[in-house]
Amino acid sequence: MNILITGSSGFMGKVLLKCLMRCKIVALGKKNANIICDLSTSIPVQIPLIELVIHAAGKAHSVPKTDTEKQEFYEINVVGTKNLLEGLAISGIPRYFVFVSSVSVYGKDFGISINENAPLLAKDPYGLSKIQAEQLILDWCNRNNVICTILRLPLLAGQNPPGNLGAMIKGIKMGYYFNIAGGNAKKSMVLAEDVARSILKVAEIGGIYNLTDGYHPSFAELSNYISIQLGKEKPMHMPMWLARIIANFGDLLGSKAPLNTNKLKKLTSDLTFDDSKAREAFGWNPTPVIEGFKLNNNAQ
């Protein structure tokens, strides 16, 4: 199968290239790719005939600090998607299209077993951009008779992960990470390699799916598992009463504070998603993150 992978130099893109290496891959990215293109500013015009598109390019979840950073989510995730679709319309319509989206579209900070029927209530720039990109893709695939798959992913685990998981690993390695109130809050996660290995199967079916590891580890379980791999002591714990005091001071300092009452609620609340639809539709059977997540060889 001829496959186009966008965002090939990103975290998920690299995993896709590794797991699908037996296929004929055309990589599209800003660097180190067959097609060098910044989708946020350009329409790709040299795409060969492709059967499957895996759209993994995008600006990852982060807290924007300026209006410019907020606009980047729209330019990269929405305009970038629009430009890709226009390029495909010129070069040739694929048979299948898979979009790597996010559970952030639900706009939830807490909740248990949230499924694909939940309303898309995101108000933050990242979640909104993913909602808009999803709709662009759904409409385009419907018009062009393309089998469309949208994968809504939680926190991704894999070698050298970015974002919050990467920050946790660094904090444990340097000895300044701690869990709050026992670290009992459970969060959905998934191994990036499990997602990549499932794509050829789900692409033929189409649909919208949450993908998780099905176990939803707590902060304590995850941090202890990472500590063992790093050869470090278990992370320290901060009692809730102390966390509340720090959070109240954080409220006075504004959104830039490392901890405020809003962040504290997120850190101490369960947020899990239901992946039973994927299990029934295409036999999704992932590995629990705290069994399959291996740090890179240079972690210590």
pLDDT for the residue numbered 87: 97
Q: Is the pLDDT of residue 27 over 90?
A: yes
CA distances from 59 to 40, 105, 130, 185 (A): 10, 14, 10, 27
Q: Is the pLDDT of residue 276 over 90?
A: yes
- How crowded is residue 136: how many other Cβ atoms within 10 Å of its Cβ? 18
Q: Is the pLDDT of residue 270 over 70?
A: yes
Question: What is the band of 262 on the pLDDT scale with cuts at 50, 70, 90?
Answer: confident
CA atoms of 187 and 192, how far apart (whole Å): 16
pLDDT for the residue numbered 45: 87
Containing 97, the helix (H) or strand (E) segment is strand 96-102
- The answer to the question of residue 300 being in a domain is no
Mean pLDDT of 212-218: 97
- The answer to the question of residue 204 being in a domain is yes
Structure tokens at 67: 């209006």
Question: What is the band of 174 on the pLDDT scale with cuts at 50, 70, 90?
Answer: very high
Q: Is the pLDDT of residue 167 over 60?
A: yes
Mean pLDDT, the chain, whole residue set: 93
- How crowded is residue 282: how many other Cβ atoms within 10 Å of its Cβ? 17
- Eight-state DSSP code of residue 298: T
CA distances from 260 to 163, 201, 257 (A): 19, 43, 7
Domains: count for the chain:
1
Q: Which amino acid is at 160?
A: N
DSSP letter for each residue of 220-244: HHHHHHHHHHHT-PPPEEE-HHHHH
> Could you tell me the residue range of the domain that residue 12 belongs to?
2-158+189-213+274-284
pLDDT for the residue numbered 295: 85
- The answer to the question of residue 79 being in a domain is yes
Hey, which residues does 157 pair with through a beta bridge?
Answer: 191
Mean pLDDT of 61-80: 81
pLDDT for the residue numbered 258: 80
- The answer to the question of residue 26 being in a domain is yes
- The answer to the question of residue 232 being in a domain is no
pLDDT for the residue numbered 299: 43
In CATH, what number is assigned to the domain containing residue 108? 3.40.50.720
Share of the chain above pLDDT 70, in %: 96
CA distances from 137 to 12, 126, 221, 279 (A): 19, 17, 37, 24
228-237, 256-265, 269-278: which range is least confident on average?
256-265
pLDDT in tens, 105-156: 999 999 999 999 999 999 999 999 999 999 999 999 999 999 999 999 999 9
Q: Is the pLDDT of residue 195 over 60?
A: yes
- How crowded is residue 68: how many other Cβ atoms within 10 Å of its Cβ? 9
- The answer to the question of residue 8 being in a domain is yes
CA atoms of 177 and 173, how far apart (whole Å): 8
Q: Is the pLDDT of residue 298 over 60?
A: no
Mean pLDDT of 26-49: 93
Sequence-distant (≥ 6) Cβ neighbours of residue 99 within 8 angstroms: 55, 81, 133, 134, 137, 148, 149, 150, 151
pLDDT for the residue numbered 75: 94
Q: Is the pLDDT of residue 249 over 80?
A: yes
Q: Is the pLDDT of residue 300 over 70?
A: no
Q: Is the pLDDT of residue 86 over 90?
A: yes
- The answer to the question of residue 267 being in a domain is no
- The answer to the question of residue 31 being in a domain is yes
CA atoms of 246 and 239, how far apart (whole Å): 11
pTM of the shown model: 0.93
Question: What is the band of 296 on the pLDDT scale with cuts at 50, 70, 90?
Answer: low
Structure tokens at 5: 């992978």
Contact 188, 154 (CB under 8 A): yes
Side-chain-facing half-sphere of 266: CA atoms under 13 Å: 11
Question: What is the band of 61 on the pLDDT scale with cuts at 50, 70, 90?
Answer: low
Question: What is the band of 163 on the pLDDT scale with cuts at 50, 70, 90?
Answer: confident
